[in-house]
Amino acid sequence: MHPKALLDACSELVRLTLKFDHPADSIVSRFFRDHKEFGPRERATLAETVYTVLRKKLLFDHLAPSGSGPKERRLAILGFHGPRDFLKSALTDQEKNWLDQCDQINVADLMERHRHNLPEWLVQPLREQLGDEFWPLVDSLNKSAGLDLRVNALTDKRPEVQKELAKAGIKSVATPYSPWGLRLDSKPALTKVEAFARGAIEVQDEGSQLLALLLDAKRGEMVVDFCAGAGGKTLAIGACMRNTGRLYAFDTSAHRLDALKPRLARSGLSNVHPAAIAHERDERIKRLAGKIDRVLVDAPCSGLGTLRRNPDLKWRQSPQSVAEMVVKQAAILQSAARLLKPGGRLVYATCSVLPQENEAIAQAFTAANSEFTPLDVGELLSNLKVENAVSLCSGPARGTEYLRLWPHRHGTDGFFAAVWVKN
């Protein structure tokens, strides 16, 4: 494709994305559906350009002067994912000079906001939690995430699948914590891989795999994945149960559950029962109250632990949207807890890095529900033979009460989990 045409397309996609009226990944997908003329290489350039602009928006806003052509074009030039000489062949002399000046700027000399590229309301809670690790986190968030796979433990073993992928030209390493995970450096077209077609692998971040592991569902149990979404954790839990017992996948979005159907068909699982519910107090929930062995509540959240993959979230979320989310999270957790029978296990999880969505919710639940006793996550993971389990945890006075995963420490998305047993 001609460089000018590709840069024009990048500029248009940047313009559409920066409206922030829909998630960036859905805008990119729709753009590709509307523009079938782009091949795989052009699509990679378009997507990576947009995500670079989203990651470094404050820096690029600073470098892109107003009144010098369309802003989105300047941002697309700064974020362009491709060879420099290819890009420069699409630029005017004035743009080339400006880009050369930008290249000479030492980012370390700039103001902090142009270096961390985070909204101010998010900076303080991250600094308070991380101290000197704030900048390593920033560095990790400004890079794209790798691709983690979960091997279907019901049908396959990790070493054999790793060899099979290697024969197909896909290199992987075993994830350090999850016993089912493989991490890829590349992003191959997995739908064309035989291991994917037969259900031996699913795309799932290692942190998400650990949530399923922490639930520790057993053969023959009654289990609920309360906010199942597209079912990544549901499938992992079903494999833990060795396709026995009964696993309910509840979600308020029938559309999200639809995405589970083809994955479920590939997985070989027959113990999973997806069901759309109207809200957390749905009649289905009432009928199962006191009958369930284990419940996972992967609550709707700000998603700020996934900024490597979804950098638009830091611009689309706000303190107000988080405050609304917290009310919803507390209500969902309280409703889900009613399902458990004595001796049952409850896991509350988010992919957020904010204490108000995590520790604050867990502590308030413990205080309000004397029939639930918190369990030590570090101990649970150690018993599950997870290596270096203590390093995955946090708690008061550096305890190990909670799972607390960070991109810069663990190479996963940011995750939190708390666990209780019903007395």
- For helices 40-55 and 3-17, what crossing angle results, to 10°? 50
Phi, psi for 182 (deg, rounded to 5): -130, 135
Which is the catalytic residue, given 10, 227, 301, 351?
A: 351
What's the CA gap between 297 and 346, in Å, rounded?
A: 8
Using alpha carbons, list the distances in angstroms from residue 92 to 1, 17, 49, 68, 139. 18, 25, 19, 12, 32
Question: Among residues 157, 150, 267, 241, which one has the least CA distance to residue 202?
Answer: 150
Residue with tokens 């991380």: 130
Looking only at the bridges linking them, the beta strands covering 393-394 and 402-405 are: antiparallel
Q: Rg (Cα) of the chain, in Å, rounded?
A: 23
Q: How far apart are CA 249 and CA 264, in angstroms?
A: 11
What's the gap between Cα 264 and its chain centre?
20
Cβ neighbours for 27, distance < 8 A, ≥ 6 positions apart: 13, 16, 17
Clarify whether 351 is annotated catalytic.
yes
All residues at 6 or more sequence positions from 324 whose CB lies less than 8 Å from its CB, including other chains: none
The vertex-210 CA angle with 206 and 211, nearest 5°, equals 120
Q: Residue 345 is inside which H or E element, if any? A: strand 340-350
Q: Is 360 within 8 Å of 408 (Cβ atoms)?
A: no
Crossing angle for the helix pair 319-337 and 359-368, to the nearest 10 degrees: 40
Alpha-carbon distance of 339 to 80, in angstroms, equals 50
Which segments within 371-414 are labelled E, that is strand? 372-375, 393-394, 402-405
- Active-site annotation, residues: 351
